[in-house]
Structure 1
Amino acid sequence: MKHVGVIDIGSNSMRLVLIEIGKKNYFRIIDEVKETVRLGMDMTIDGKLNPQRMEKAISTLASFKSLCEGLGACNIFPVATEAVRRASNQKEFLHIVKSTLNMEIRVLTGAEEAYYDYFGVINSLDFSNGLIMDIGGSSTELIWVKDKTKKEAISLPFGALNISDQFNLAEKMDSNTEKDLNKYLMVQFKKVTWLEEVKNLPLIGVGGTIRNIGKISRKTINYPIDRSHNYQMDSSEVLNIYDSIKYKNSEQRRKVKGLSKERSDIFIGAFSVAAALMKFCDNPRLIVSGGGLREGLIYEILRGEKVIKDVLEVSLNNIIKTLNIDKDHAHHVWELAESLYTQLKPLHKINGNSCKILKTAAMLNDCGKTINFYNYHKHNFYMLTNFPINGLSHKELIMAAYTMMLSVKENFDIDNSPYVTLLTEEDKYVIQRLGIILRLAECFDRKRNGNITKVECKLKSDQLFLRLFSKGTTETEQKEVESRGAYFTKVFGKTLQFE
């Protein structure tokens, strides 16, 4: 077991993420600390970092270092972005940090910052093509992703702090200022020639401003999930939120539900960048990414430059390893469930591919038992809806949680459950049938030893015949399946028989 601390010295805030790394590079975040330092604010005319803000930054780094040292051996990776990158007294700042804290700060180039944004996003979201945007305090990174590969990237020298300062947006923005700001941004975007080639792609947003936009949206519609990662909004909703806030003064902004009070003075400037880019590129929707620069650094530490091909698979296995779940049993249940799902398509008649939902439910169906066996299905539900699972939409995550619940409690009432507003009647239909398939798969590995190696299904009239291939006797597994036979017949109209 080893510990790693990643420190992100941004222009607006400084963050420490502490992770624990186990065998085969499974990891979990064990602490995260943020301090609003605004190192990129109040720089002198000749481009020097403000002495008071430097002092606060060094004090914050000392605090972060003490947290890392509290874990014993801990490798610390501090990186700095635009404010330090362009500071004329950069060397002085780095020297003070080195001499007082014995800490070597790596100052990222704009290209490196964009790369780590890309690497954090591509390894935590399931997508192939899109435009990534990270609005920082003093810079904005844009990355064009095509077929999961970083095709183009650029770091633009404006962000929440300097845009707000340049156009005096801290207190209020009026229509004339908005026109000037929009004109300025359009000129900047037109300089990036490759942006003309990324029209109509989803915009994937990184950073505090984007998370705040998502939180405002969730508060507005009473969204039942308190999760920012992979939250999605149509462009019309994003622009409507922007229009409803853009002319508010600083006091009015502080009252907006979902908007961080410490970000309220720089929020409009940063939001203007996002809104202008969405219009410029005709992005149909905005996807909030919880992964960015810090996560990109973490994935590089864990995997080098290798991009994760199956984000969901890696995420599920990471949870299995972290919780010390029986990996062999989890994978075998999924193999059996996948086989049943495929063979029973004429029976379940599920449109589309729900395998990601079934896979998640199958591989994590023991997670609640790590808390307590009794009522483990309730622990399952809570844990699944709160786990940092990558590769699933919010709806798919909730459907997986309900699938796990129905695999144990056949009479569970979805209509009186907390997340039902996210589901359609078709979704409920799918969940019910996936729950039965998962229950059968669990029954077939009741001994948890891989005894049943294969199941063949044959539909004949009003019966479903099951042929079991095994390493030993199958009485235990057959008995378990028979106990579920009445419910199977109720849902599918077929009786279960063994060949």
Structure 2
Amino acid sequence: MVDTAPARVTDDPLSLPLTSPADEIGCDRILAAIDVGTNSIHMVVVKIQPSLPTFTIIDREKETVRLGNFCEKTGGLSKDAMERAIAALKRCCDIAHSLQAEDIVAVATSAVREASNGTEFLRRVKNEVGLAIDLISGTEEARRIYLGVLSGMEFHSQPHTIIDIGGGSTELILGTGEPHRFLSSTKVGAVRLTGQFISSNPVNEMEFNCLRAYVRGMLEPPTDDLKRHLASSETPRLVGTSGTIECLAALSAHDRLGFVPDPLNGYQIRYDDLVELVERLRHLTYTERLALPDMSARRAEIIVAGAVILQQAMELLGAEAITICERALREGLVVDWMLTHGLIEDRMQFQRSVRQRSVVKTAQKYRVNLTHGERVAQFAVTLFDQTREHLHAWGHLERELLWAAGILHNCGHFISHSAHHKHSYYLIRNGELLGYTETELETIANLARYHRKSPPKKKHSNYRNLPTKHHRQLVSQLSAMLRVAVALDRRSVGAIASLNCQFDADDRILHLVLTASRSGDDCASELWNLEYKKACFQEEFDVKLLPGLM
């Protein structure tokens, strides 16, 4: 029989170990980060120096694949675009491996999020390239852009507004270098709007006016919302990232200086200069735009729409100038990796608990009984920890997902008590928790969905939405743990103080030794509910669960 030390529910549920092994801290580490965007696939390969901590970019790769040119009939990624993307990703992975990258982190954004066959594309990449790509929400994209900008620019605790114009969406962020004040993602992007509004060459008056009016209408709500997060005395500095803004900066610099600075980092575009530039660009033919300095063929197609987005954003924000930052989402992926691997302890330390803080904020939003949620979460991770290696081999990431589901399992009560587990799935899946990928959100939502009533079944659409058999097994096993944890706080009064797992490997018996919080309490309600809910756990782990009160 294996006896492990009991863990009390008063332990801090947020104290998750996030540090790397000590013998790795002082070594330089190579990491590749890939951004699968609407217009292009970008990769940076960096050398991380954990002792500082900082990173240096040692290689950059970019290929324009135009995933955002959807098939009109299906609303999905076109076959040609997927083939171009897969070929580009293979080259990126070959380069990363040749540079001895220990890990490759990759995310997909607007185009893959919205495509009818986006999940199918991600499966193809996994099968044909061997690369797992995380699909992230627009607000999560904005958060990581913020991290990337912070890694390349000092904010001096002053408010900065960041704008990133992509192919399918535009992100607006407000922050001071501390936790962000505001994140937004709006479906206006240079590729998207070019396809929707521009068919003439050069752009005719009617198309240009329609484009400008649409952009203004789409950007007014997020810019107004952003300004509400500013004090009356604050005037934020505007920072621009992305290829579109860098291209406009290069054109502006060539007009003003006669050359293009290298790097562009720190260069400013004045609003008045941008207005003149937009007027010039809209009257040029595609061939004439292509002849401009630093203009690629693909960029020449979409630059008018991109310029209109920037002009309207600056006008709505009342900005007189915008400063270029060449670090954005890709570098944000690097910073996020460093944070989750315990390599950053300085001014961005707040970001390492972004998941936990986002979960608690969501719980408060949906009026969850946090005291109960924290007890359930702690019981769940205690059961997870004490049965690891005996009953399962899940790791730290899975532990975090279980904790989040434990906190939020009852959030569906916000909608209705009846079938609240199903409502919990919906609220978690659509609540835009920060710090998580789409697959991780789907996992947390499913765990909460199955904390009661029916166990996971293939006929359930939410269970089928999980991308792989691995994820379905994860949900089946961890939801069984969550059921046990929920039973242990049946009355929501903290009747159980601690649990201690003792595993008899010979007879496949897990003894669950429970300690009551109050002398004389027989915890009959909790023990009864545990008997009712333990069947899933016993089936998933092929053990007999025997609870007992000390």
TM over 0.5: yes
Instruction: Give deviations 1:386-406, integer Å, cap 9, x for gaps.
Output: xxxxxxxxxxxxxxxxxxxxx
Partner of 2:117: 89
> Equivalent residue for 1:326?
none
TM-superposition CA deviations, 1:205-256 (whole Å, max 9, x none): 1100110111112211225742211111221122222222222111111122
Read off the aligned partner of 1:42 and give its amino acid letter. Answer: F
Counterpart in 2 of 1:64?
A: 92
Partners of 2:285 and 2:170 lie apart in 1 by 24
Question: What does residue 78 of structure 1 align with?
Answer: 106
1:210 and 2:259 aligned: no
For the 8 Å contact 2:250–2:261, the answer to whether it is kept is: no
Q: 1:170 to 1:75 in 2, by over 3 A?
A: farther
Letter in 2 for 1:27: F
Q: Following superposition of structure 1 onto structure 2, how do residues 188-227 of structure 1 map, counting pairs within 5 Å?
A: 188-192=218-222, 193-197=224-228, 201-220=236-255, 221-223=257-259, 225-227=261-263
What are structure 1's unaligned runs of at least 5 residues?
Answer: 311-499
**Equivalent of 2:291, from 236, 252, 255?**
255
Letter in structure 2 aligned against 1:7: I
- Decide which of 240, 243, 253 is 2:276's aligned counterpart: 240
Give SS of 1:43's match.
Answer: coil
Quick check: 2:32–2:101 contact (8 Å CA) kept in 1?
A: no
Range moving further from structure 2, 242-251 or 286-295: 242-251
Letter paired with 1:208: G
2:166 pairs with 1:136? yes
1:126 maps to 2:154:
yes
Code of the residue aligned with 2:187 in structure 1: it is P
Structure 1 runs of 4+ aligned residues shifted over 6 Å read none
- Partners of 1:189 and 1:76 in 2: how far apart? 34
* Per-residue deviation, residues 255-301 of structure 1 (Å, max 9, x unmatched): 22233333001000111100111111211211111010011111122
Q: Which amino acid aligns with 1:204?
A: V
For the 8 Å contact 1:202–1:284, the answer to whether it is kept is no
The answer as to whether partners of 1:131 and 1:142 remain within 8 angstroms in 2 is yes
Q: What are structure 2's unaligned runs of at least 5 residues?
A: 1-27, 349-550
- Percent of aligned pairs with the same amino acid: 28
Give a deviation string over 1:438-477, Cα, whole Å, max 9, x none.
xxxxxxxxxxxxxxxxxxxxxxxxxxxxxxxxxxxxxxxx
TM-score (norm 1): 0.59
Query: Equivalent residue for 1:375?
Result: none
Q: Tell me how many residue pairs correspond in the alignment.
A: 310
Contact 1:219 1:258 in 2 (8 A): no
Give, as a single letter, the amino acid of the residue that structure 2 aligns with 1:89: N
1:183 aligns with 2:200: no
TM-score by length of 2: 0.53
In structure 2, which of residues 33, 42, 45 is the aligned counterpart of residue 18 of structure 1? 45
2-side partners of 1:224 and 1:155: how far apart?
Answer: 30
Paired position in structure 2 for 1:468: none
* Cα 1:23–1:205 shift into 2, 3 Å: closer
Shift in alpha-carbon separation, 1:224–1:175, aligned structure 2, 3 A: closer
Q: What is the Cα deviation at residue 174 of structure 1? A: 2.3
Task: Confirm or deny: 8 A CA contact 1:122 1:148 kept in the other structure.
Answer: no
Q: Indicate the SS of the match to 1:150.
A: coil
Distance in 2 (CA, whole Å) between partners of 1:233 and 1:184 is 23
Q: Aligned-pair distance for 1:309? A: 4.2
Instruction: Please state how far the C-alpha of 1:71 moved relative to its aligned partner.
Output: 2.8
Q: How well do the aligned residues superpose, as a CA RMSD in angstroms?
A: 2.2
Deviations 1:343-364 (A, max 9, x none): xxxxxxxxxxxxxxxxxxxxxx
Query: Which of 30, 36, 50 is matched with 1:3 structurally?
Result: 30
Contact 1:140 1:155 in 2 (8 A): yes
Q: Which structure 2 residues correspond to residues 379-458 of structure 1 after superposition, within 5 A?
A: none
Alignment of 1:300-339 (within 5 A): 300-304=336-340, 309=347
Deviation at 1:90, TM superposition (A): 1.6
- Cα distance, 1:171 vs. partner? 3.0
Question: Is the aligned partner of 1:290 residue 2:326?
Answer: yes
Equivalent residue, structure 2, for 1:448: none
Structure 2: distance between partners of 1:281 and 1:22: 38
CA contact (8 A) 2:111 2:168 kept: yes
Alpha-carbon distance in 2 for matches of 1:225, 1:253 = 20
Other structure's SS at 1:88 match: coil
**Aligned amino acid, residue 254 of structure 2:** K
- For 1:153 and 1:224, the matched residues in 2 are separated by 31
RCO greater where, 1 or 2, for CA within 8 Å and sep 6 or more? 2
Q: Which residue of 2 aligns with 1:110?
A: 138
Residues 206 and 288, structure 1, Cα contact 8 Å, conserved in 2: yes
